[in-house]
Amino acid sequence: MASQSLTISLIQSSLVWEDAEANRAQFEEKIAGITENTELIVLPEMFTTGFSMNPEILAEPMEGATAAWMRRVSQKKRAVITGSVIIKENGKYYNRLIWMLPNGEMGYYDKRHLFSYADEHNHYAPGEKKLTGSLKGWKINLQVCYDLRFPVWNRQPPEKENRYDILINVASWPDKRRSMWRTLLTARAIENQCFVIGVNRVGTDGNGHGYAGDSLIIDPLGNVIQDLGSEEKISTYTFHKEDLEQVRAHFPFLDDADKFLILT
């Protein structure tokens, strides 16, 4: 039987530009400072480097320093850790979200929609499959930044037994388009009748782009539960399954959705 609660911590942070060691150190300090009994810790997109188009000099192998760091910290904290990093595999570069379990096992999701406006598609290979994490009976759909703009990729599957409970998007979303970030997160929550977590960075990157944070937790009705604002902040929240079940039972809109199949 599924556990009825799940505690998740969001870390909204600035990043040291293209300095993996410094970023790992600062996140380790932040994670150690979480006093709540958290079960999942969410970091931003490319949390070791910032949103860089220099994978040739920054990429790590899948079993490189950052994966080893995530494994060690996850085991020590006894919590799942997730966030995306630059990975090289089979001669290609990926913006890869890693889902690290405390037992040392991990899954991954390669960002499907590459941000061509910033030339990401010319430096990284797109992902070809989704990743749904499972934690204490909760199903968690894992996405990266620009994926948020594509509702079909985020859409609940037609089969009720395959529906996810939480959508997590880790991002480097620029402050110039912050209203779109907030609107799209809300839309994804409403149309998929799920909790949505968006974790964005703050500060300014090496290219002079600013990030306003606006990390949010949104409920299945589109209400903002938590808003981390525009400063560095760590927030921990406990989700309750009955809140989700009540919304879906009272408003069974997903049962009327179109049937579809995504071809990759």
The answer to whether 189 touches 196, Cβ cutoff 8 Å, is: yes
Q: Is the pLDDT of residue 52 over 50?
A: yes
Task: Report if residue 90 sits inside a domain.
Answer: yes
Confidence of residue 3 (pLDDT cuts 50, 70, 90): low
Q: Is 164 helix (H, G, I), strand (E, B) or coil?
A: coil
**Structural domain count, the chain:** 1
pLDDT, tens digit, 9 for 90 and up, residues 85-103? 999 999 999 999 999 999 9
Q: Is the pLDDT of residue 145 over 90?
A: yes
Domain CATH number, residue 187: 3.60.110.10
Task: Report if residue 99 sits inside a domain.
Answer: yes
CA nearest neighbour of 233 among 47, 12, 9:
12
Task: Report if residue 157 sits inside a domain.
Answer: yes
Residue in 18, 39, 111, 120 annotated catalytic? 111
- Specify whether 45 is catalytic: yes
Q: What one-character-per-residue DSSP string does 238-257 give?
A: EEEHHHHHHHHHHS-GGGGS
Sort 242 into a burial class: Cβ within 10 Å, 0-12 / 13-18 / 19+.
exposed
Distance CA 176, CA 160 (A): 38
Q: Which domain holds residue 70?
A: 5-255
The answer to whether 5 touches 241, Cβ cutoff 8 Å, is: yes
Task: Report if residue 98 sits inside a domain.
Answer: yes
Residue in 45, 60, 77, 194 annotated catalytic? 45
pLDDT, tens digit, 9 for 90 and up, residues 53-62? 999 999 999 9
Task: Report if residue 260 sits inside a domain.
Answer: no
Model pLDDT, residue 166: 98
pLDDT, tens digit, 9 for 90 and up, residues 195-219? 999 999 999 999 999 999 999 999 9
Task: Report if residue 261 sits inside a domain.
Answer: no
CA nearest neighbour of 163 among 147, 141, 144, 188:
141
Task: Report if residue 131 sits inside a domain.
Answer: yes
Q: Is the pLDDT of residue 2 over 90?
A: no
> How far from each other are the two terminal CA atoms of the chain, in whole angstroms?
33
- pTM: predicted TM-score of the whole model, two decimal places: 0.97
Task: Report if residue 121 sits inside a domain.
Answer: yes
